[in-house]
Amino acid sequence: MSYTVLARKYRSKTFDDLVGQEAIATTLKNAITSDRVHHGYLFTGTRGVGKTSSARVLAKALNCLESDGPTAKPCCACESCLRVAEGEDIDVIEIDAASNTGVDNIRDLRDNAAYRPARSRFKIYIIDEVHMLSTGAFNALLKTLEEPPDHVKFILATTEIHKVPATIVSRCQRFDFRSIGVEDIAGHLTSVLKKENVEADETVVRRVARLANGSMRDGLSLLDQLLSYGGGRLAPEIIEEVLPAAHDETVARMMAHVADEDAAAALACVEESLGAGQTIDRFCESVITHLRTLMLLNLCGADTEMVDVPVAARDEMASLSARFDGATYTYMISMLEEVRRSVRSSNASRALLDAAVVRLALSRNFSQIDALLDQIESAAPSDAPAAAQPKPNATPAVARKPTPAEPAKAPRASARRPAAPARNRETAQPSRQPSRPRATSGVSSADKSRIGGDPRVQKAIELFDGSLYNVERTPQTTPPPSDD
Ligand SMILES: [Zn+2]
């Protein structure tokens, strides 16, 4: 007998089996018992959270032959229930929109929908990954979805709701499936292991549940992998030996080190991830994705729907996201994208990546240098003719010219911390030091102490072991050590 993967073998059979989606199960059950079943449902959520399972349970509930009408407790034993569970029922038609994207597929569906079901109460169309349909196909679907024959029900499922036209969404009853919590996944895995007569250490189960990232199917697939390795017992050693290093976990850890400005620890994470088989290209990609998530959490709020973060991880990520600001995020993302493109053609790709990670860890310092330069720039002397006064951003200062190792420009701190208007300084700046033209020329002592008092500027000065120079005004001198 062939082996059935756990995800199929232990697929939820009834509403009560749906792990982590209790609210949806209750709503659907109530709809059936109160005879308020809609003709179109839209299930959305990430992969492996129970959309297809729920669609099949609903189909069974509507068509179970053991009952006189739709029932919240399908028997799971009649011909209809059994066939639906396998996805092979004659009246419950499952369509994978990813491979049936065309308008012709939907026209066929429409024509078929006109015929009554062969043996059941309803003809039910389950369209998976519905966002993959072409525009023409969506349009063809629209009319049927609006006023289907009485014997037809639609259950649409998608992982990318934003790609489904509003006209479709508004004709369906929408259910948002949540990522499944670690606790729920761990609980289900434990019960599966018990049924499989496998002894498992709890740390292994928890670890698998965390790696599953909110997807029950991913969790069960991992368990399959472990079982084929470990036989009848899942001991803790197996974690190190078999479980794939969770790349996104490593990336998340790396970003925490970056926030701590701990370049060495961040580099260790790079080593770990590449050592586990990740390519440099893919590594950059996952860091960029992670940064985008953090940026949106930071700018749009911790409960934003624009990112897909498991509930369990949301708080932790939200607090990490607060440790950078918008300008730093844009800097980091564009810098990494540049690195990702250049590593493909470079023989020193690993060095480029390592340098980029160090740069990430120090990105706040780069912002500080720019802040420093901005402040000095705006503190230029008032007695210079207005025409000679450099406009902000007009002439790039020597030290700010991007070097080859600095693909993207560090964010100008002025964006979030505007320097005081230059006009205010015209009155407050008498003290130029003609004898030492290099140092702090054009910066009043009041300005100097104000700028120098800023802890971030202090840190930048310490870091580069220098003092306040106005590089705009002393192009002949050697620029202070720049950021590479
Ligand atoms: Zn049945």
Cα–Cα distance, 427 to 445 (Å, whole number): 13
pLDDT of residue 78: 95
In angstroms, what is the span from residue 74 Cα to ligand 1's centroid?
A: 5
In angstroms, what is the span from residue 189 Cα to ligand 1's centroid?
A: 27
In angstroms, what is the span from residue 119 Cα to ligand 1's centroid?
A: 13
pLDDT of residue 389: 43
Per the model's pLDDT, the better-predicted residue between 52 and 306 turns out to be 52
Reported as a single tens digit per residue, the pLDDT across 283-304 is 888 899 889 989 999 999 888 8
In angstroms, what is the span from residue 108 Cα to ligand 1's centroid?
A: 28
Per the model's pLDDT, the better-predicted residue between 34 and 348 turns out to be 34
**pLDDT at residue 229 above 90?**
no
In angstroms, what is the span from residue 238 Cα to ligand 1's centroid?
A: 41
Average pLDDT in the 446-460 region?
Answer: 70
Q: What is the CATH number of domain 247-365?
A: 1.20.272.10
pLDDT of residue 470: 55
In angstroms, what is the span from residue 24 Cα to ligand 1's centroid?
A: 21
Ion ligand 1: protein residues whose beta carbon lies under 5 Å: 64, 66, 74-75, 78, 81
In angstroms, what is the span from residue 67 Cα to ligand 1's centroid?
A: 7
Average pLDDT in the 359-372 region?
Answer: 72
Percent of the chain with pLDDT over 90: 44
Per the model's pLDDT, the better-predicted residue between 396 and 68 turns out to be 68
pLDDT of residue 129: 94
**pLDDT at residue 411 above 60?**
no
All structural domains of the chain with their residue ranges: 6-177, 182-242, 247-365, 380-417+435-474
**pLDDT at residue 422 above 50?**
no
Please tell me the least confidently modeled range out of 24-38, 169-183, 252-266, 272-286.
Answer: 272-286
Q: What is the CATH number of domain 6-177?
A: 3.40.50.300
Average pLDDT in the 57-76 region?
Answer: 95
Average pLDDT in the 255-262 region?
Answer: 93
Average pLDDT in the 321-350 region?
Answer: 89
Please tell me the least confidently modeled range out of 297-301, 339-343, 448-452.
Answer: 448-452
In angstroms, what is the span from residue 249 Cα to ligand 1's centroid?
A: 43
In angstroms, what is the span from residue 120 Cα to ligand 1's centroid?
A: 11
In angstroms, what is the span from residue 218 Cα to ligand 1's centroid?
A: 29
Average pLDDT in the 250-275 region?
Answer: 91
Cα–Cα distance, 343 to 357 (Å, whole number): 13
What's the pTM? 0.59
Mean pLDDT, the chain, integer: 80
Average pLDDT in the 72-95 region?
Answer: 94
pLDDT of residue 466: 57
In angstroms, what is the span from residue 88 Cα to ligand 1's centroid?
A: 14
pLDDT of residue 24: 96
In angstroms, what is the span from residue 64 Cα to ligand 1's centroid?
A: 4
In angstroms, what is the span from residue 66 Cα to ligand 1's centroid?
A: 5
CATH level 2 (architecture), domain 182-242: Orthogonal Bundle (1.10)
In angstroms, what is the span from residue 81 Cα to ligand 1's centroid?
A: 4
pLDDT of residue 289: 84
Please tell me the least confidently modeled range out of 119-123, 229-233, 249-253, 282-286.
Answer: 229-233
